[in-house]
Every structure is written in C-alpha cells, then in structure tokens.
Chain A
Amino acid sequence: MREPTLPTFQGFGLGLRPPHYQDFLAGEPQVDFVEVISENFMVRGGRPLHVLDAVRERYPVAMHGVSMSIGSADGVKLDYLKRLKQLADRVRPLWVSDHLCWTGVEGFNSHDLLPLPYTEDTLKTVCANIDRVQDVLERPLVLENPSSYLTFADDEMTEWGFLSEMCARTGCYLLLDINNIYVSGTNHGFSPEAYIAGVPAERVRQVHLAGHSAGRGLLIDTHDTPVPDPVWALYELASRRLGQVAVMIERDDDIPPLGELLSELEIARARANGVRGRGLAA
C-alpha cells in the first residue's frame, strides 16, 4: 500500500533536551517546533511524559527515534513499534523519524547506529521493514542519513542512490542531516555536493544541523560543538534545492544555555532566507 502524503512543515526548531526542560516549561522560547528523542518518552509515566504533554500544548513536536533498527536482517520488533505507536498517538507529531542503519540483530542491541552495505539485498530488507513500520504506525516513516565510519566491499550504489530508491519503493520520507553528509563524505571520499544534488528533494521533510569533531583519521559525529562553516555552506546549497522543510540544530553534548542555541537557529533562518532572497532576485 502506498502511504499517504506527509504534509510539509516550514520552520526552525530545537531538540528538547533535559537541561532546557525548565526553559520550555517556564517561558516561551521562540522556536517553531521541537524534536524529542522518542525512546526517552516511551516510558510508563512520571516527569518525562508530564514535560512532554506541557511542551506539546505549545509547540508542534517531531518524534525522532534511535532504536527502530530499520536495517536489521531479522526484521523490526513489533513490541517496540507498538510502544512507538502509543507515543505517536499521544503526541500527534509532525512525523516519526529514525535512522537508516541497524542497531542490533537476534536480540542484541548495540545502542549505536551501525552502517549498512548499500546493496540490492539491503534495499529489499530495508524496504520490507519500512512497509511493516508504516503499517503498524499508520503513518509514513521519515528516515535520516547516518554518519558512518566504514564502507563495505559489496557496496553497489551511493548512499543517496540508496535513499532515492528506498523512497521510491516505500513512499517514505527523508530527514537530511547536513553534518552527517559532510562527515561521511569526508570519511569516505565522496562529494557532499553530489550527495545534495542526488537526493530526492521533494521527499525531504526535515533538516538536521550539527557539529562534529576530528578523530584519528576520521570525522566523528559528536554533536558537541556549534555548526561549523563547511556545514553551513552545505546547508545553503541544500536550501536552494529543498522546498518547505523543518530545520533544527542538533546538540546532544556540551549543551550550552538555550539562548546560544536560539542564536544559532537565527543564523540558520537568516542563511535560508538569504538563499531564498538571492533566488528571488535572480
């Protein structure tokens, strides 16, 4: 079954992280939406759901998960999907996203986003899993391109080629992480510009912006610094191609006061407007 169209949402938001719960509960930070890590709220009760309900009253919420394991060869887990559906029914989110990766197999869960070989075999597994997820969730799925530190000898296509085919076969949507494109491109020697030119822009509903750090010979997706210049440049490039999208800054470590992230979000807004302004002038 072809999934229904997922409405677009144009705006600039932030992730809801515990150090900022009070800011979101007490004041009215000027963001257009917030993104929550689904698993942190897939709990029975207590403060997390209390906070989420209060925030949801004021903001549209995007749900972003890390444990779906859409690339697991032994399938997605029904108990997980049912819990996720429960949360989605409560939150009525803009959409539900996770990552193009696998996190475990046969009962083992690494709690890490592990890389997939980009082959026809993987594509079949991923698409079958997406069909199942979309059936259980009763909504289209949004998948994010991961950062990766390995490639596979069997790779038959580029990551953006894989994403395009995946969207075409399942009707799912994309969350484009600009930093992950930069990190993986640097690590594996592909052109981030070619990537951005190659993704199916009309399927992109959300954009992540983040920082990274340099490891031994590799860039690591650490989300612990402000968005660096090369990521901003790629973001401007992407903004020229993308339509209405929800853009957010992802900061998961060394989390600064909310004001700093709001200023960074203003930069994202200004850069996107600048691109659009120039586009109009041209």
Chain B
Amino acid sequence: MSLLDLQRGFRDYILSGAPEIGPRLGGDPAAGLAVYHHAYRAQLFAGLRDTFEKTWAWLGDEGFDAAARRHVEAHPPSSWTLGDYGEDFPATLNTLYPDDPEVAELAWLDWTLRRAFDGPNAEAISPEALAAVDWDTAVLTLVPTLKVGEVATNCAAIWGAIAEDQTPPAAEPLPQAAAIRVWRQTLSPQYRTIEAAEHHALSLVLAGEPFGGVCTTLSEGMDEAQASQLIGGLLASWIQDGLVCGAE
C-alpha cells in the first residue's frame, strides 16, 4: 500500500469511523484509532467554542455541542489554520434554528469580530490629511477589517450583555431592518448597530462611489438641512470610530 493510499484510508476512517485501514496497522489498533477519531473532533469542537464564544454562551453546552457535531460531520476542514474553521457555521445554525434567527446572527457577529481581531492593519486618516480633502470628489478608503451585515434581531444587545457578564435580554425582532458594522480600531474589535441610511451610505462608499455622489444619493427626498445633518453626522462618526483611512 502506498503512503498516499494509506493516508486516504486514514482520512476516510477519521471522517467516517469505518476502520478499513485496520489490517495495515500493527498490534491491537482499536484504542489508538479511537484516539485519533476523537482528537479530530475534540480539536474542531474546541475551535468552534473558541471562535463562537458568545453563541456558545447563548445556546448552552448541550445546544452548542449538538450544533457543532452536526457542523463538523458535514464540513471537514481544508485550511491550514484552525482560525479559518467555522465560516459557514452561521449557515448551519440557520438550518438548525429556523425560528430563532438571533442564533445565526450572534454567530455571524462572533465570526466577524474574530476576523477583525487579527485582520489587516490600517492607519486611520490624520487630522492634517482630513483638512485637505476635497469632499466632492474624494473617494473614501475604509479600514480593511470593516464588514457590514444585515440583522433582524437584537443580537447585538445579546452579544453585548454576554460580553459584560450580564443576563442577556430575550431575543426579539428589531422594529425595522438594521445592520451591524464590525471593524477594528487600533487593536480592539468593535461593532455598532446602524440604520438603513448609514448602511446604504457605507455600501456606496465600499463600492467606490465618490463622497459627493454618496451625498447626492442619500439626500434624495430630503430637504437640504436634513441631508447635511445626516451626512455630517455619519462622516463624523466614521472618522471618530477610526473607520476612514484615506480620502483621495
């Protein structure tokens, strides 16, 4: 048996538990095989618990482990880093908890904050550079860790309460559709619930629309004072939050 065939057989055993490689093993291999079968799963469960810590707290050990088991059996890892494992765990939770949308949303928040934690560095724009910007034509560059996701529940409030060791509120739908932006400011991952107008504005900026165009689109159907208050407020909060790293 070639090394390649042996490794394929071993992989299939780890995944399925069918001991086809048994005859190729020395001594009494049952206990040893069981160690590898177990260690593979234990490692992935630990990885999921680590990445999806708040989701784990929300579901409790039993609920979380059942979901993790389902996920691990259906999704063998392929990346060299365990940190990449679980990107599609929110989708698994969506299937398992169709009537509790906050579960998958919490998991999305856990995942996205973790990605922001060790995502690319970027420096926020300096006050001097800001002063020189021509806002009509400037295209804003936002920090590379920024991600925006739509949410229908109070998952952010739940996540925040768990993070502060407080009793989380009951899950409930938001009165209107909203979004959460996740990013990292210097070394600290951050998140903030945003309204539809900001979500729209961020989508335009991320699509490369010059700031002047973003303002025009956003101002449609508003009087001028309203519009400039809205846009001024958004820009101020983006700068304050360290989201903007360039404007040219």
Contacts and interface: CB of A to CB of B under 8 A. Distances in A.
A110 B11 contact: yes
Interface string B64-108: 000000000000111111110100000000000000000000000
A45 B119 contact: yes
Nearest to B188: A47
Q: Which of B2, B11, B79, B116 has the most CB of A within 10 A?
A: B11
B81 A107 contact: no
Contact of A153 (B4, B25, B85, B121): B25
Given A46-B121, A111-B44, A112-B43, A105 B36 contact: no
Interface in B1-50: 1-4, 6-8, 10-11, 14-15, 23-27, 29, 31-36, 39-40, 43-44, 47
A49 to B, nearest CB: 8
Nearest to B34: A216
Contacts of B121: 44-46, 49
Nearest to A124: B3
Contacts of A72: 7
Interface stretch (A114-122, A158-166, A192-200, A236-244): A114-122
B236 interface: no
A9 interface: no
B187 interface: yes
A150 B25 contact: yes
B31 A217 contact: yes
B7 A105 contact: yes
Contacts of B23: 153
Contacts of A73: 2-4, 6-7
Interface in B144-159: none
Contacts of B187: 46-47, 50
B31 to A, nearest CB: 5
Contacts of B8: 105-106
Nearest to B120: A44
B14 A110 contact: yes
A188 B28 CA distance: 10
A154 interface: yes
A131 interface: no
A148 B32 CA distance: 8
Nearest to B4: A73
Nearest to B29: A150
A152 B26 contact: yes
Contacts of B58: none
Contacts of A77: 80
A262 interface: no
Contacts of B10: 114
For chain A, the bracket of interface size reads 35 or more
A270 B3 CA distance: 44
B118 interface: yes
B118 A44 contact: yes
A111 B77 contact: yes
B156 to A, nearest CB: 21
B33 A150 contact: yes
B117 A46 contact: yes
B141 to A, nearest CB: 16
Nearest to B35: A149
A155 B29 CA distance: 14
A244 to B, nearest CB: 32
Contacts of A106: 8, 11
Nearest to A216: B31
A104 interface: yes
A112 B39 CA distance: 7
B184 interface: yes
A46 B76 CA distance: 28
Centre residue among B23, B27, B44 by max chain A CB count within 10 A: B27
B120 A105 contact: no
Contacts of B39: 112
Interface in A55-90: 67, 71-74, 77, 80
A82 to B, nearest CB: 11
Nearest to A67: B80
Interface string A122-154: 100100000000000000000000001111111
A26 to B, nearest CB: 16
B3 A121 contact: yes
Among A67, A71, A111, A119, chain B packs the most CB atoms within 10 A around the CB of A111
Given A47-B118, A73-B7, A112-B36, A154 B1 contact: yes
18 contacts: A39-B80, A39-B81, A45-B120, A46-B117, A46-B184, A48-B118, A67-B81, A71-B3, A107-B78, A108-B11, A108-B78, A110-B40, A112-B36, A119-B3, A150-B32, A154-B24, A155-B26, A220-B35
Q: What 9 A-B pairs come out closest when comparing CB atoms?
A: A45-B121, A151-B26, A149-B32, A43-B118, A73-B4, A150-B32, A44-B120, A73-B3, A67-B80
Given A105-B4, A217-B31, 4 more contacts: A39-B81, A48-B118, A67-B80, A105-B7
